[in-house]
Amino acid sequence: MKCLIIAAGKGSRLSRKGNSKPLIPLLGIPLIERVIRSANQAGIAEFYVVSGYNGEQVRPFLDGLAVRCGVTVKHIINDDFEQDNGLSVLKAKEHLSEPFLLLMADHLFDPGILQELLKEPPEPGAITLATDNNTANDRVDMDDVTRVRHEDGKLVAIGKDLADFNAFDTGIFLCTPALFEALERSAAEQGDSSLSGGVRLMAGDGRVNVLDIGGRFWLDVDDPRALDKGERALLAQLRDKPNDGPVSRYLNRPISVRISRTLSRFPITPNQISLVSFAVSLLAAVLFAMGGYPALAAGGVLAQFASIIDGCDGEVARIKFQESDYGGWFDAVLDRYADAFLLFGLTWHAFAGSGAPIVLFTGFMAIIGSFMLSYTADKYDGLMRLRMARGKGWRMGRDIRVFFIFLGALLNQPFATLLLIAALMNAETIRRVWVSREPG
């Protein structure tokens, strides 16, 4: 499946954010890159991009992006970019002779929308428009959005000034080449060279299907207010992580998301953030081992701060499309080292104060419990994923363990903290083994 992206307009309402709308960054990633990467996540690898205004900036960027993403980007130039957007679509007529996706360079979307579209290709001579049937969607600019009315799965009316409507045009289409002929007819017969004009003609013939996006995310980024809405919407998605423990969900994540919002604007990688989190944990462990309450309390604060930062690597990876299996594994490896150092430092502190062998044994059991809880996480999380997604139950994980270390350090109770962690982590491991056992 080929994908046509319209990126020729001036975007005057966003001009103070940058002189080329497709290249205006949202959380550190240009708008058109977000569109291409989202489409690529849906399985699209061949793109035709129509550029116009400041295209000499857009085209070299896309050439580099194609190399980084492993996709193909072919350029189409529209020198008449100040005219209706339907002309930009028509520029691709000689390049596209089979069904294709049509996207806008300034419309963000959930890749799942494309996946649903591709499941139901339109019949020859027709097109399918993805519509948002939630007319109360507060992310929609009612003064600018294209409104549609559909009945029995067919589009019957479209326009920005439509008074009787039941959905919004998301700017996401699955087309056949019949769209080109409709655009030419609209321009010749109606004097309307807009994309909506061509779609309106096809709708009159009953050739425009509609597919409701089912509440999935989409956003037309057309002005600074919409850009801000886009940031807030993407950041809100970061908070929705079903396997978060209670400390991560209610304490760490609200803070880490704010930090990630800032970090996304800098050329810092998720793996570098993982290393910073590990280094802070290591410093906390050194403070624990130094002895004395001030060092213990400072170490506890740093341990909790490292736990918050530990959430930023995954958040930045999602924001900037840098997720990888290696990155997740690398973060997990560093977390295990950090846990060991923190608990050993706390054990050293408690043992230095009492000299009792039971402290060493308790510290050993706390480290073992910590490791075994992490070791059993994959299988347990896999079994509980559906339940957690429904908001039932909660997960005991690293966030709780580090939070106990933080509280224990502030309360000057290192041994009691080790005892609590040893008991809870090993008991939870045993419970997971029981829950995850094979029948028979």
In a shared domain, residues 177 and 44? yes
SS3 193: coil
Structural domain includes residue 291: yes
* DSSP codes, 22-82: GG-EETTEEHHHHHHHHHHHTT--EEEEEE-TTHHHHHHHHHHHHHHHT-EEEEEE-TTTT
In a shared domain, residues 184 and 297? no
pLDDT, position 173:
97
Query: Which of the listed residues 227, 251, 268 is the one where a domain comes to its end?
Result: 227
Query: Which one, of 10, 28, 415, lies nearest residue 234 by Cα?
Result: 28
pLDDT, position 397:
81
The two structure tokens encoding residue 15: 């001009």
Structural domain includes residue 52: yes
In a shared domain, residues 358 and 261? yes
SS3 311: helix
CA distances from 375 to 120, 249, 336, 380, 432 (A): 42, 22, 10, 10, 11
pLDDT, position 130:
96
Cα–Cα distance, 38 to 68 (Å, whole number): 14
Per DSSP bridges, beta strands 2-7 and 46-51 are parallel
Q: pTM for the full model?
A: 0.86
Question: How many domains would you assign to the chain?
Answer: 2
Cα–Cα distance, 60 to 76 (Å, whole number): 13
Cα–Cα distance, 161 to 164 (Å, whole number): 9
pLDDT, position 387:
54
DSSP code at position 292: S
In a shared domain, residues 253 and 213? no
Structural domain includes residue 376: yes
pLDDT, position 394:
57
In a shared domain, residues 117 and 58? yes
Query: Which of the listed residues 200, 227, 254 is the one where a domain comes to its end?
Result: 227
Cα–Cα distance, 362 to 144 (Å, whole number): 64
Query: Which one, of 348, 219, 237, 241, lies nearest residue 287 by Cα?
Result: 348
In a shared domain, residues 165 and 307? no
pLDDT, position 14:
86
pLDDT, position 245:
82
CATH of the domain at 280: 1.20.120.1760
Cα–Cα distance, 148 to 144 (Å, whole number): 13
pLDDT, position 384:
64
Structural domain includes residue 232: no
In a shared domain, residues 362 and 257? yes
Query: Which one, of 237, 162, 238, lies nearest residue 200 by Cα?
Result: 162
| Domain membership of residue 408 as a residue range | 239-435
pLDDT in tens, 369-398: 999 988 887 777 666 665 554 445 556 788
pLDDT, position 382:
67
The two structure tokens encoding residue 126: 């027709």
CATH of the domain at 110: 3.90.550.10
209 residue type, one letter? N
R_g over Cα of the chain: 27
- Contact present, 309 and 276 (Cβ < 8 Å): yes
The two structure tokens encoding residue 382: 């896999």
Structural domain includes residue 203: yes
pLDDT, position 373:
87
In a shared domain, residues 108 and 254? no
In a shared domain, residues 199 and 319? no
Task: Give start and end residues of each alpha helix (H) in 97-223.
Answer: 111-119, 178-185, 195-204
Please list the residues that pair with 103 across neighbouring strands.
Answer: 5
In a shared domain, residues 371 and 320? yes
Query: Which of the listed residues 197, 227, 257 is the one where a domain comes to its end?
Result: 227
Structural domain includes residue 234: no
In a shared domain, residues 214 and 266? no
Structural domain includes residue 346: yes
Tens of pLDDT, residue by residue, the chain (440 residues):
899 999 998 888 888 888 899 999 999 999 999 999 999 999 999 999 999 999 999 999 999 999 999 999 999 999 988 888 999 999 999 999 999 999 999 999 999 999 999 998 999 999 999 999 999 999 999 988 999 999 999 999 999 999 999 999 999 999 999 999 999 999 999 999 999 999 999 999 999 999 999 999 999 999 999 999 999 999 998 887 767 788 998 999 999 999 999 999 999 999 999 999 999 999 999 999 998 999 999 999 999 999 999 999 999 999 999 999 999 999 999 999 999 999 999 999 999 988 899 999 999 999 999 999 888 877 776 666 655 544 455 567 889 999 999 999 999 999 999 999 999 999 989 988 887 776 64
In a shared domain, residues 177 and 257? no
Structural domain includes residue 440: no
Buried b or exposed e, range 227-264, using 16+ CB within 10 angstroms: bebbbeebbeebeeeebbbebbbebbbeebbebbbebb
